[in-house]
Chains A and B, each alone.
Chain A
């Protein structure tokens, strides 16, 4: 079972490295169908976040309750994400993917991926989530500045922007290793940001 899991993880990572190494060329080659490479990588990123982020015990109803990854809006992953997390268990919590339509009430989950379709509702969604231990992830411009905890951006490869203030405010802990490879972003409404505004 473990061997099977490892081999699957290895496959994911191999795919990820392949995409990262060949980078823009593969992406460019697939430009007619940009979802193929990019969301494969982003799905692995979502899975990896569960390993580098710690949720408080209050985030779960029980010690072996599932860790829910909710996708809100028009799902760009398709079954890629389901494949990436299938049969995975993180710290005793099995990973589960749930999908919600735009306009649905903010679901009960541990990680919330806000799709580009809900870009304009970001403020409203975050307001409803306030202080709940939910890791918010988005993949559109300025999402982190606007209050999402992690924003996935595509430059020559997929990069992360982390809004550390938002993460700390929700009672989550992000591994310093993850912070090391991400770009830290200050939210627009912080006092420091306000102070620098004339």
Chain B
């Protein structure tokens, strides 16, 4: 059975609150960073591709101008150093491929590349077209295809792992720190609660909360609590004293003073003289809920029961005379 949050102990509540706040703040910060990194990654990926393309283009001007396939192939083969490059080719203005790099099976139709110098994302790859110029004359075009998704997912994986790590570490740190720091708040409240529990369990009004010397709200509460305890203690003492006096008075009377439940007729109190009177101890008067009807003389019983119910309903003073059977069988 799960406990609802409001029933949790204060310490756990504060820990949960701290963790929730920390988690929310961290998540918000991480989300912002994440977004920034994604945009940044895309931007840098394009810039890297442009740089790479620029270098290849610069180096291949002579190869293109002199139609040197071997040199062009060698220049493109330097792309081996960059595993994310899937395909590249150098094409003359007449659309003849002079050199190729990469797996021809992965090669894309050149129609899918942008026409002018531009980037295009197709099927998770970045396609880049770069016209190669020398002194404002186009010598040919470089087509470059880089695997964007692989790098992107790698970044996502790295960031997710990092985020989980940071969340766990900060959770542990927050739990440790809040455990330490929350004691300042929770300990006085817990001690106040403990004092209240002792008062409740033992009816001991002499205990006092030790949190009363604090200047904060808990101190105010503890002082009010201690003041209340003092008043209850003195009133309790006075009450006990007056009860003892009353008991002595009642027990010294030559007669039985009793108290009864008006509905059930069960005795809730009977003075000490009750034992002398019928021979039953006061405890038995109280213990047996049908004590009164049991001791009534059988002839008076139905009349008395009816008369009594009337009296209770009318709530008037009364005086009845009836017969009862004592413990030793005497009729009184």
Does B66 lie within 8 Å of A10, measured CB to CB?
no
Asked if B138 contacts A10 (CB within 8 A), the reply is: yes
A121 located at the interface, meaning its Cβ lies under 8 Å from any Cβ of chain B in the complex:
no
Asked if A28 CB lies within 8 Å of chain B CBs, one says no
Pick from A9, A16, A18, A177: contact of B59, CB under 8 Å:
A177
By a CB distance below 8 angstroms, the chain B residues around A106 are: none
Contact yes or no, A48 B65, CB < 8 A: yes
- Nearest A residue to B96 by beta-carbon distance? A17
A21 close to B (CB within 8 Å): yes
**Which residues between 94 and 153 of chain B lie within 8 Å of chain A, taking CB atoms?**
94, 96, 98, 134-140
Contact partners of B61 in chain A: CB under 8 A: 177
Q: In the complex, what residues of A have CB within 8 A of residue B67's CB? A: 13, 16-17, 19-20, 41, 157
Whether B94 contacts A13 by the Cβ 8 Å rule is: yes
| Number of residues from A at the complex interface, CB < 8 A | 28
- Residue on B with the closest CB to A21? B96
Query: Could you say which residues of chain B place their CB within 8 Å of the CB of A17?
Result: 67, 92, 94, 96, 98
Q: Are B137 and A52 in contact (CB under 8 A)?
A: no
> Would A181 and B96 be within 8 Å (CB), given that A9-B137, A13-B139, A20-B69 are in contact?
no
Tell me whether A180 is interfacial, beta carbon within 8 Å: yes
In the complex the two chains form, is B66's CB within 8 Å of A14's CB? no
Chain A residues numbered 141-196 whose CB sits less than 8 Å from any CB in chain B: 157-158, 160, 175, 177-178, 180-181
Residues of A that sit less than 8 Å from B by CB: 2, 5-6, 9-10, 13-14, 16-21, 41, 45, 48, 51-52, 90-91, 157-158, 160, 175, 177-178, 180-181
* 14 additional A-B residue pairs with CB within 8 Å, beyond A5-B137, A178-B62: A17-B67, A17-B92, A17-B94, A18-B96, A21-B96, A48-B62, A48-B65, A48-B66, A157-B67, A160-B66, A177-B63, A180-B59, A180-B63, A181-B70
